[in-house]
């Protein structure tokens, strides 16, 4: 298998459709290749093939090819990206090994929603609130992106919920799947490009593939765009999400082999998942306003402000946690463009007043207070970047940011407690990238960037009830080089990127004997890897039978090790970082016929990977095969209707997705679904654009 992987790595890939407007042209009509996608990462606003950075792109086409129920498979088609799901709705996202410090959720990755900081000032990112239908486009920036996107060493995600081109109308879809899965999404768009509104609603439920893994998610969004003048546009965003999902707990290898569907049983005085009613109850409200102003021929500014509130309840095996997290913030970006020179400068700031209470958990109800903390958090970043385009195809991008964050903790449950405060500050976090256009379709680039990632509020206040303000920020330097090229009149696009990342004071998660998580600094790591992707349009022009036929492949090769890590008398230096496979392959085939039939085939392979720092336990390798077939009838009185059906994990592979790293009592494994099926219907109607 390894030989096959290496061979696949010579022609790796992933296909990504171009940005579409809200009408979403049928996939069979969208023939643009990956390189032609225009991305906004690093404020380049250029073709992906011309941007000297490691960037992945997802559009609604990628989400829909996997059934439009979960975002996991679409994320995992991007080389260097790994998204896991311990149970329906419980996501974990990492870039280039940032899983190391993430027992769950999203850590060390900064997420923006329509330019608004979606990661809160405490470091939490509730990506579970979004369904695929809420995403018009998504860009993944891999590696330290602090020169423009705040503190962090993992990368950044830029999500847009509004399409690039406005068109009124409506769309709706319904998907039915295995394990009592149901998903309904609907959107209404009215107005025009100068004064448009969009209202969307999504509802999803699932019984779960393991015991005690039910899910319910409701999301409502209202968005508006008001073009006051040719120079000024005002937009607003309001969302409310209500999420509930059960958490079954991880299994030992013996339990996993005996019955992978079981939830964690009672053991050592701790109740079972069902007895303690382990689950997440999360309600999040966000309101934001953004203003774009072109105040001269060369200058423009985009400024946004937001306010948000999250109510988070989490009955667990050890306690019952209640969090209330109001916060607000904003970001401003000035852009100057003059000939071959572009300047970006600005800043962002966030402030939160969090309250976290831990109680004992009696059969899913809170009882005696264990801790009661008021948490004051704030963070800000100032940044600047210059982009120079020289003669003979040379381009230089240089940027840097200054970041500072603060956490203050007052433990009200301890009489006479002296508040604990910690400020995390760094020197400049720079990024320099130099590229050369050898030909119109061949780009070479190299970059150096430095990242800084302070501990999150959850890491300073872990579940073992300690307060660890001695935890040090991570600091890392990334060296990267890549080639982007295309052939055959741009029908074939290939990209190969190599990187070497040195991380100091790496933050890693560990568990004590009771199963409570806590965090330590692990010294240094060395993370070397190659990420490559390829997409090939098989047809140079539509034929009598097919409008489009494409193949795509991607390959990730990682060699991540501890460079310097000793805990007590045990030396882990030289060991592989847990939670990261050495090899990942993803690929597929997309066919679109002239009759409206379409077909998607997807393959995914993950190598085995260690589950603890000692490398004494491993999750096995696995292969996944999935497919989707359907029929689209377009332009029937301005109405487009699609019906589809599909299969995931056709091999019925047994594997664990979302392993618990360095888990107590060797409870590492969270079983993923076996073979499962889905089917659905989508309908859309688009009115003519107003001039």
The tens digit of pLDDT for each residue in 510-566 reads 777 666 778 888 888 999 999 999 999 999 889 999 999 999 999 999 999 999 887
Token look-up 């295309």 returns 486
Amino acid 689: pLDDT: 56
Do 573 and 615 contact (CB within 8 A), yes or no?
Answer: no
Measured CA to CA, the distance from residue 396 to residue 435 in angstroms comes to 7
3-state helix, strand, coil split of the chain in percent (to 5) is: 10, 55, 35
Amino acid 7: pLDDT: 35
Amino acid 29: pLDDT: 38
- Pairing state of beta strands 420-425 and 394-411? antiparallel
- Cα distance from N-terminal residue to C-terminal residue, the chain: 56
What's the whole-model pTM score?
Answer: 0.91
CA-angle at 24, arms to 23 and 26, nearest 5°: 120
Amino acid 515: pLDDT: 66
Q: What is the pLDDT of residues 293-352, one digit of tens each?
A: 999 999 999 999 999 999 999 999 889 999 999 999 999 999 999 989 999 999 999 999
In a domain, 203, yes or no: yes
Amino acid 371: pLDDT: 94
443 Cβ contact list (under 8 Å, min separation 6)? 49, 50, 52, 435, 436, 437, 483, 484, 485
In a domain, 691, yes or no: no
Q: What is the total residue count of the chain?
A: 691
Q: Which domain holds residue 494?
A: 2-686
Identify the segments of the chain with pLDDT beneath 50. Answer: 1-31, 690-691
Q: How many domains does the chain have?
A: 1
CATH of the domain at 472: 2.40.170.20
Measured CA to CA, the distance from residue 96 to residue 525 in angstroms comes to 12
508 Cβ contact list (under 8 Å, min separation 6)? 100, 101, 519, 520, 521, 522, 613, 662
Amino acid 215: pLDDT: 96
Amino acid 14: pLDDT: 31
Using CA of residue 130, residue 133, residue 221, residue 689, what is the dihedral sign? positive
Measured CA to CA, the distance from residue 587 to residue 4 in angstroms comes to 13
269 Cβ contact list (under 8 Å, min separation 6)? none
In a domain, 539, yes or no: yes
Of the candidates 84, 24, 61, 59, the residue with the CA atom closest to the CA atom of residue 140: 59
């Amino acid at each position: 298998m390894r030989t096959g992987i290496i061979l696949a790595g010579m022609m790796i890939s992933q296909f990504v459709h171009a940005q579409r407007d809200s009408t979403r042209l049928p996939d069979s009509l969208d023939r643009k290749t990956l390189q032609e996608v225009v991305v906004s990462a690093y404020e380049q606003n250029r073709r992906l093939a011309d941007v000297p950075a490691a960037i992945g792109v997802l559009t609604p086409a990628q989400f829909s090819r996997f059934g439009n129920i979960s975002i996991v498979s679409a994320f995992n088609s991007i080389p260097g990206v790994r998204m896991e799901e311990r149970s329906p709705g419980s996501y974990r996202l990492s870039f280039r090994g940032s899983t190391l410090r993430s027992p769950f959720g999203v850590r060390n990755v900064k997420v923006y929603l329509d330019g608004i900081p979606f990661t809160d000032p405490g470091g939490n990112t509730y990506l579970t609130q979004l369904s695929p239908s809420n995403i018009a486009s998504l860009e993944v920036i891999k590696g330290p992106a602090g020169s423009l996107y705040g503190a962090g060493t993992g990368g950044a995600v830029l999500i847009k919920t509004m399409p690039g081109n406005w068109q009124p109308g409506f769309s709706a879809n319904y998907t039915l799947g295995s394990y009592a899965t149901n998903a309904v999404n609907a959107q209404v768009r009215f107005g025009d490009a100068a004064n448009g509104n969009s209202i969307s609603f999504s509802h999803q439920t699932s019984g779960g593939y393991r015991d005690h893994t039910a899910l319910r998610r409701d999301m409502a969004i209202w968005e508006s765009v008001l073009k006051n003048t040719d120079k000024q546009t005002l937009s607003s965003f309001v969302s409310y999400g209500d999420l509930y999902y059960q958490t079954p707990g991880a299994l030992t290898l013996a339990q996993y082999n005996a019955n992978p569907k079981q939830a964690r049983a009672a053991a050592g005085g701790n109740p079972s998942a069902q007895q303690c009613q382990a689950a997440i109850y999360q309600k999040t409200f966000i309101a934001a306003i953004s203003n774009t102003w072109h105040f001269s021929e060369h200058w423009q500014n985009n400024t946004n402000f937001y306010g948000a509130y999250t109510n988070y309840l989490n009955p667990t095996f050890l306690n019952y946690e209640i969090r209330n997290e109001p916060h607000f913030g904003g970001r401003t970006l000035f852009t100057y463009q003059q000939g071959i020179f572009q300047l970006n400068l600005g800043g962002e700031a966030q402030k939160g007043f969090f309250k976290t209470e831990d109680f004992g958990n009696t059969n899913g109800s809170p009882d005696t207070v264990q801790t009661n903390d008021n948490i004051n958090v704030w963070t800000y970043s100032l940044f600047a970047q210059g982009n120079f385009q020289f003669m003979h195809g040379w381009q230089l991008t240089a940027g840097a940011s200054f970041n500072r964050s603060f956490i203050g903790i007052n433990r009200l449950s301890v009489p006479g407690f002296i508040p604990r405060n910690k400020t995390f500050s760094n020197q400049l976090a720079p990024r320099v990238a130099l590229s050369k256009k050898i030909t119109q379709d061949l780009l070479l680039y190299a970059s150096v960037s430095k990242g800084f990632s302070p501990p999150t509020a959850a890491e300073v206040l872990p579940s073992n009830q300690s307060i660890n303000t001695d935890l040090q920020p991570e600091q890392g330097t990334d060296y990267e080089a890549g080639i982007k090229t295309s052939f055959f009149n741009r029908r074939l696009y290939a990209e190969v990127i190599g990187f070497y990342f040195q991380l100091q004071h790496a933050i890693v998660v560990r568990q004590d004997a009771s199963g409570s998580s806590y965090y330590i600094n692990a010294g240094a790591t060395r993370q070397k890897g190659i990420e490559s992707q390829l997409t090939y349009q098989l047809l140079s022009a539509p034929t009598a039978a097919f409008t489009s036929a494409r193949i795509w492949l991607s390959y990730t090769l990682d060699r991540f090790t501890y460079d310097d890590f000793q805990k007590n008398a045990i030396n882990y230096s030289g060991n592989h970082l847990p939670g990261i496979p050495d090899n990942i392959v993803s690929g597929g085939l997309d066919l679109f016929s002239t009759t409206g039939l379409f077909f998607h085939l997807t393959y995914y392979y993950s190598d085995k990977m260690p589950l603890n720092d000692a490398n004494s336990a491993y999750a096995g390798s696995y292969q996944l095969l999935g497919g989707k077939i359907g029929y689209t009838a377009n332009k029937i009185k301005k109405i487009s209707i699609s019906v589809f059906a599909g299969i995931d994990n056709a091999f019925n592979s047994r594997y664990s997705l979302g392993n618990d790293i360095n888990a107590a009592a060797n409870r590492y494994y969270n079983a993923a679904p076996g073979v499962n099926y889905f089917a659905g219907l989508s309908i859309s109607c688009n009115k003519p654009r107003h001039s």
